[in-house]
Structure 1
Amino acid sequence: MNEAPTLADVAGRIRSLPAMPTVALELLHTLTETDASSADLVDLARRIAQDQAITARVLRVANSPFYGLQSRVASINDAIVVLGFSAVRSLVLAAAVMASLPGGPCTGFSQERFWRHVLGTAAAAQAIGKRLGRPSEALFIAGLLHDIGRLALVVLYPARYAATLAAAREQDRGLQETELAFFGFDHAAVGASLAEHWHFPAEIADALAWHHQPDRGKAGGLAAIVHYADAIAQALDLDESEDSQVARLQEDAVASLGLDWDALLAVLADTQTRFDSYRLMLG
């Protein structure tokens, strides 16, 4: 096997990854905006509708039982009117990321299981946020993107990452720990580089960088919630992986969220319900 790349090597090769759709990046940069003008909504609907793949994914979720709509939503514009700009923006971002960043050929890596896991983490992050009174949209996006660095490693270094996956299974150790052994850094560090390259909002970038080490993230930020959501998605086996491992939790970070047993049970049920809707994006 070739010499392990450095993080600087990865950062340099990130430019070769498929670009996220312009509309997705623009929407991501508007996460801090609370209001959108009528003209903005009309322009959004028009531009999204031009991409049939994204539109189809969004409408499948919009028409799921989770939203409980009385009549079927037939267009992005209708979805915005009925569900609201924020909800549709989250769904569009998810659909765009899934459509534009497919995994490459890497032995042992399942693209479907990957997307099931991150959608599950996004659902869990929203469910936790609901109990904490935190806005759900940024949590959904942070959960969706938290492992994007892993996808980059699969695409850029498929042979080395295949060996990483095999070693993790054979040695029964955590994937993050095995990434550090094979690369000298983990997917969270790569995710932070991607966030910088694509100019993600600061709170999203912080969650990507520190979801395995939330004590190093911004105080009161999203990292601790995504950290817990990641473990919940794995505990619920939402990716249906035979060798899924529950992530090691930082007890202080989890305790800081203040969720008691009853709240956790509610989070687990809410996560499953949300995931059953979001997984419709997978077709």
Structure 2
Amino acid sequence: MDGGFKVKKVCTEHLIPGMVLSRDIPGVDQSVYLAKGTRLSIEDIQVIMDLAISSVSIVSGDKENDLKDLARRCEEYVRPFFYYVNPGSSFFNGLYVKSLNASMDRLVKENAWILPCEQGLRATAHQSRRDLFFHGEGGPEDIVSHEMELISVPDTYFKLQEILKAPDTSAAHVAEVVRLDVNLVAKLLRLVNSSIYSFPTKVESVERAVAIIGVEGVSSLALGITAIPMFKDIPPDLMDVRTFWNHSISCAIFSKSIAQAAGFEGEQFFTVGLLHDVGRLLLLKNLPQAYLQVLLYSRGSFIPLMEAENVILGYSHAHLGKTLLKKWDCPEKLITLVGAHHSPEEGSNSKEAAIIQLADNMAHAFAISNGWSYVMPGMSEENINLLNVKESVLLDLFDRHGQALHEISRSLV
């Protein structure tokens, strides 16, 4: 490493005049267009772009200059994800610095990640799948009605809903319902024994979990866990389901932690965070062609997915998620918070919805150094201030997030 990297991959959009090629660049007829050793000019770079070449191999310089160049390219990579946040926000500026540092750490210390190129951030070629209906011929209610005919909802899910709505439910009743699903028991116990709780002794039974967290807390967590396996057949060429659930789990962890810092019980917020984007899964599954246009518009213009959804579809995943949860007869607060997680000011629980909105933004920011492809949705200072949580506390949650995300993702996905 003392002499710098001998060869480095550089995305076409990050090329600058004076860089030297370490490998030949072929022309359209497989002849050599630019030979190894060529010092690139502005004209050369433009032709490379015209040939739709995503990256080229460049001769490395000394270590100091390599690190400066890497820092420049890393900043160019991270900055667009923050286009929609308030540039005057002290908190988002702090989040930007942490995202930038995390990306540099992966690039330099781990030496196990290559900055994604612009072409890699765009939607890929899509397999032939038909939409449920043509644009303008249906809406959220039609998608949900269609999905209700296909989704196999386990009995445990409905029994947990009944528990959440019954004020006099006993701990024994909760434990009895949860124990009906062996897989649910295992996931629930792994969750309560994770670092987001850090109980002094291991929780080995559902009864013990109920005694510590409470009837509503355990029921709410179990409700969210039960919902994850219901969503299948998502086109992998549009979105990797594991990546989707990792983001949802990340949002759930941040939601719980922020809620507790703001003076709320955290379990219900964990469940809202886990399910906040279920509407997007329905869009991917039922309108794959239309959602491809959403992805192309979002990534091509570097705007948040929600904005692209409203432009292309006329409604967002938040509205669709709210419609689905209402059809499932979920608790009213869960329905409201999922529907308002991008617009807390429009709901009746603005402070609670602002928790999910902030958690969603922090989950976006945390994933940037892992190759995340979507622009942060942003958030107003007014909504951040609603929470009355110190900026230093929020940034500390960001720093400590990795271990919990790793543990819980392994447990639930």
How big is each residue's C-alpha offset from its partner over 1:196-251, in whole Å with a ceiling of 9 and x where there is no partner?
A: 21112111111111111111011445211111111011111189343232212122
Partner of 1:179: 309
CA change 1:41–1:215 in 2 (3 A) is closer
The answer on whether the counterparts of 1:207 and 1:221 sit within 8 Å (CA) in structure 2 is: no
- The AA in structure 1 aligned to 2:148 is R
Match of 2:173 in 1: 40
| Residue 143 (str. 1) matches residue 276 (str. 2) | no
**Residue 119 of structure 1 contacts residue 278 of structure 1 at CA under 8 Å; is this kept in 2?**
yes
Paired AA for residue 173 in structure 1:
I
Equivalent position SS for 1:244: coil
In structure 1, stretches of 5+ residues that fail to align are none
TM-score (norm 2): 0.60
Question: What's the counterpart of residue 190 of structure 1?
Answer: 320
Q: Find the aligned partners of 2:384 and 2:410 in 1 and give their Cα distance.
A: 30
Where in structure 2 are the equivalents of 1:141-220 lying within 5 Å?
141-220=271-350
Cα distance in structure 1, aligned partners of 2:213 and 2:350: 28
How many positions carry a matched residue from both structures? Answer: 279
Partner of 1:27: 160
Give the equivalent residue in structure 1 for 2:383: 253
Cα contact 1:109–1:165 (8 A) shared by 2: no
| Partner residue in 1 for 2:224 | 94
CA distance in 2, matches of 1:261, 1:221: 16
Larger CA deviation: 193-202 vs 219-228: 219-228
> How far apart are the structure 1 equivalents of 2:167 and 2:403?
26
How far apart in 2 are the matches of 1:143 and 1:17?
24
- Name the structure 2 match of 1:14: 147
Moved more, 166-175 or 143-152: 166-175
What corresponds to 1:3 in structure 2? 134
Q: How does 1:59-78 map to 2 (within 5 A)?
A: 59-66=189-196, 67-68=198-199, 70-71=201-202, 73=204, 76-77=206-207
Q: Is the 8 A contact 1:149 1:189 kept in 2?
A: yes
Deviation string, structure 1 residues 5-55 (Cα, Å, up to 9, x no partner): 432432432323414323223324433666642540442243123xx3x33
Asked whether the equivalents of residues 251 and 359 of structure 2 are also in contact (C-alpha less than 8 Å), the reply is yes
SS at match of 1:18: coil
Contact 1:113 1:239 in 2 (8 A): no
Contact 1:113–1:241 under 8 Å retained in 2: no
**How far apart are the structure 2 equivalents of 1:243 and 1:260?**
29
Q: What code does the residue aligned with 2:297 have?
A: A
Distance 2:391 2:351 in 1: 23
How far apart are 1:171 and its partner, in Å? 2.7
Amino-acid identity (%): 25
Alignment partner, residue 21 of structure 2: none
